[in-house]
Structure 1
Amino acid sequence: MVRLSRFTHQALLCLAAASCVMVSAASRADDTSAWQSVKKAGVLRCGAAVAPPYVMRDPKTGEYSGFFSDLCRNFGQNVLKVKVEFVDTTWDNIVAGLQSDKWDLSMALNDTPEREKAIAFSAPATDYNVSLVYNKNNPKVLKGASSLADIDKPGVTIAVMSGTAQDKAISAVIKQAQIMRLPGNDETRLALMSKRADLLADANITNMLLTEAHPEWAVAIQPNPPLAQQEVAFGVRKETSKADLDVLNAYLNQQVKSGAVNRLIKTSVQAMLVPNK
């Protein structure tokens, strides 16, 4: 039998203890992985602020649609293999709710320097810029208006969803017109259609829905150069690991490359237009 010296015996005990600490630390690292936590809970929570066609909610059934809703649902069900739950929120709270762990992903967020201070972002799913829609019969808006200078005048009111990227974009450039900040997409459209607002500032894709649904009166202004050209992505918590982001980004890049995102956008736009036919 080989007898160990007292020094060797203590060294082996220390090595064993260190190994246990390393294994324990690795286990804790796995436990703190975003997707490991989601799999353990059995549900992926998607923070949802309504902005058609990105995120839509049926007021009667509460069911979510829109191409970002579809992307979040598919990621949870087909990649993480868990159930998917949509959590109602507003654009004013979409970042704070993510930070406080009320959901795991924030949908359809513009990747801005200000938001990057608080959260991290996935790879982009699509591009974004701000357009403005007006009623071509509105005497306050010159026929053929094509720039911000044409509409930034006293007495003109622009409706926008409070707390959104488009709110921040027009707040930075509009100097004379009044900005009417409202809580949601339905409210901003109603303000325009009821003539309480002269123009509606919104995402270019969202405003495309309005002009296609109401070609008899709705006209869009596309500022040149593009206003607030940005990328639209999923928001994740700042501490999300690179490994977790790689999983999400691989999924999104595949969806973009295969043309699936474009197909989802077209489907969402068509779904929005059907009730207006």
Structure 2
Amino acid sequence: MARFFPGSIRNLIASAAAIGALLAQVPAQAAETQIWKDIQKAGVLRCGAAVAAPYVMRDAASGQYSGYFVELCRDFGEQVLKVKVEFVDTSWDNIVAGVQSNKWDLAMALNQTPERALALAFSAPATEYQVSLLVNKDNPKFAEAGNSVADYDKEGVTFAVMSGTAGDKLISAAVKNARIMRLPGMDETRMALMSRRADVLVDANDTNHLFALANPDWSKEILPEPALAKQGVSFGLRRDISPADLQVLNIYLTQRRETGEIDALIDKASAEVNATSKTAQ
């Protein structure tokens, strides 16, 4: 037999149910806000490091890391979280998976893309990025080439790019006729161009610009028109980071960017890259 309750009792039952639902959500919401607290409890911030100058660099002899994202990660950990900072060597193919599997807390120098946003969260951008091309200006294949990717996308042309990077994905979508040579690191892609195993080097505009400055006698930099991409370069974090925790990092980055401190770090890293290039020559 159906039971009927007075309106006041029905309202009381509904209110109790709503309170119960809210209480059930509290543990989940609380768990979302623990990332920085967990790192502070552990006493170490782990930064995933895939090498790409001037963002992230690693001295082969000492194993020490430098670059402006390295400086940002170190400063955020030591000055904001008050913990030690550890850099974990990885590759661009694995850097997102490392965040997902909790092998490191921050992935450094990630380009903001929709595909990556399905897998992790992004901080506010520290800098802006676009893809550029670098070629040997005496290469006869490009005697009539302009600034369009299509001018270089020809049979018999080889593009060299770091595997797994944003540049890899972008050039793979744009190139229809040329061959793409995917290599594990920046040194390998540069050597491919210098040895003429590759005709075009695909990389970040600031990285290619530094390389072009170090090799003015033979190199030519091209900023494609239309642009292949203009993206923010950010830290990558776990997708379950709370808005409050993400705001901590975003405020830190925004303040350092607006005061010009990040520009100063870029200049410092760029000088280091050029000094290393001159020593190697």
TM-score when normalising by structure 2: 0.88
How many equivalent residue pairs? 260
Please name the residue that 1:128 is paired with. Answer: 129
* Structure 2 equivalent of residue 209 of structure 1: 210
Q: Deviations over 1:123-142 (max 9, x none)?
A: 00011110000111222222
CA distance in 2, matches of 1:251, 1:185: 29
Aligned counterpart, 1:169: 170
Superposed, 1:99-138 pairs within 5 Å as 99-138=100-139
d(CA) in 2 for partners of 1:199 and 1:31? 45
Amino acid at match of 1:151: Y
Amino acid at match of 1:123: A
- Rounded Cα–Cα distance in structure 2 between residues aligned with 1:30 and 1:157: 49
Q: What corresponds to 2:259 in structure 1?
A: 258
| Residue 192 of structure 1: aligned partner | 193
- Structure 2 distance, partners of 1:66, 1:206, is 12
Alpha-carbon separation, structure 1, partners of 2:181 and 2:276: 27
Deviation of residue 73 (structure 1)? 0.5
| In 2: Cα distance, 1:67 partner to 1:60 partner | 20
CA contact (8 A) 2:57 2:67 kept: yes
Secondary structure (helix, strand or coil) at the match of 1:255 reads: helix
Q: Are the equivalent residues in 2 in contact too, given 1:136–1:143 (CA < 8 A)?
A: no
Q: Counterpart of 1:228?
A: 229
The alpha-carbon deviation at position 27 of structure 1 amounts to 11
Amino acid at match of 1:155: G
- Partner letter of residue 196 of structure 1? R
TM value normalised by structure 1: 0.89
Q: Tell me which amino acid in the other structure corresponds to 1:97.
A: G
Range that drifts further, 42-51 or 145-154:
145-154
Structure 2 counterparts to residues 1-277 of structure 1, below 5 A: 29=30, 33-142=34-143, 145-277=146-278
Segments of 5+ residues of structure 2 without an aligned counterpart are 1-18
> CA offsets, 1:48-100, max 9 Å, x none?
00011011000111111010011000000110010000001100001001000
Answer whether contact 1:158 1:200 (CA < 8 A) is retained.
yes
Distance 2:189 2:261 in 1: 30
CA contact (8 A) 1:31 1:37 kept: no
* Mapped partners of 1:55, 1:119: distance in 2: 20
Tell me which moved more, 73-82 or 132-141: 132-141
Structure 1 spans left out of the alignment, 5+ residues: 1-17
More off after superposition, 221-230 vs 182-191: 221-230
Say whether the 8 Å CA contact 2:148–2:226 is kept in structure 1: no
Q: What is the letter of the counterpart of residue 64 of structure 2?
A: E
Q: Please provide the CA RMSD for this pair.
A: 2.3
Contact 2:145–2:152, Cα closer than 8 Å, also in 1: no
126-135 or 142-151, which moves further after superposition?
Answer: 142-151
User: Bigger shift: 123-132 or 136-145?
Assistant: 136-145
User: Identity of counterpart residues, as a percentage?
Assistant: 60
Greater mean alpha carbon deviation, residues 196-205 or residues 217-226: 217-226
Contact 2:33/2:245 (8 A) holds in 1: no
In structure 2, relative to structure 1, the CA distance for the partners of 1:165 and 1:198 (3 Å cut) is same
Q: State the secondary structure of the residue aligned to 2:237.
A: strand
The 1:222–1:28 alpha-carbon spacing in structure 2 relative to 1, beyond 3 Å, is: closer
